Amino acid sequence: MKLKELIVEKAIVPTLKGVKRDDCISELLDALAKAGAFKPALKSEFLKAVVKREKKGSTGFGHGVAVPHVKTTEVTRCVAAVGLHVAGIDFNALDRQPVHAVFLLLSPEEQPEAHLDAMESLFGTLSQETFRKFLKQARTVADVVTLLEEADANPPAR
């Protein structure tokens, strides 16, 4: 799955303002709702579901990146938002380091294979040190879009 197909460009937030994990997740949900990915009235339900998922185990997998995600019947295709945080936030990551990039994924509950494809695409790209380094330096939506396009043009070997 191509990242440009998955990530909603209007839901790229180059400067997250929240200082806590849940605040940043909320900002990304706001961006997805504003972009039309789901009905705004569902935001609090999604926030509760994502936070509940985080309590089962952090999706901060280390190297400054987190991929919170939830499956729902309220979306018809996988959609993701990207948020960047210059200072970094505590996401209870596996390596205990601050998270600078958050990729929030919403997947259709009835399409588990699409969810797995999306996660594989995200983790494959985010496991590349060069991508993470340039992502941490990104300051604009255009910077992030360029990185996503480059990642799609040069996918990691699987």
CATH code (residue 99): 3.40.930.10
Q: Which residues of the chain have pLDDT under 70?
A: 157-158
> For residue 136, what pLDDT is reported?
92
Active-site residue, selected from the candidate residues 69, 85, 100, 115: 69
- Examine residue 158 and state whether it is found in any structural domain, yes or no: no
> For residue 85, what pLDDT is reported?
96
CB 59 within 8 A of CB 123: no
- Examine residue 86 and state whether it is found in any structural domain, yes or no: yes
- Examine residue 69 and state whether it is found in any structural domain, yes or no: yes
Q: Which is it for the CA torsion 56, 112, 37, 152, positive or negative?
A: positive
- Examine residue 137 and state whether it is found in any structural domain, yes or no: yes
CA distances from 40 to 3, 4, 33, 99 (A): 24, 23, 5, 26
Domain span at residue 58 reads 3-153
69 is known as an active-site residue: yes
> For residue 134, what pLDDT is reported?
95
Q: What is the pLDDT of residues 26-72, one digit of tens each?
A: 999 999 999 999 999 999 999 999 999 998 988 998 999 999 999 99
Distance CA 142, CA 73 (A): 31
Distance CA 141, CA 64 (A): 19
Distance CA 41, CA 78 (A): 19
- Please give the tally of structural domains in the chain: 1
- Examine residue 113 and state whether it is found in any structural domain, yes or no: yes
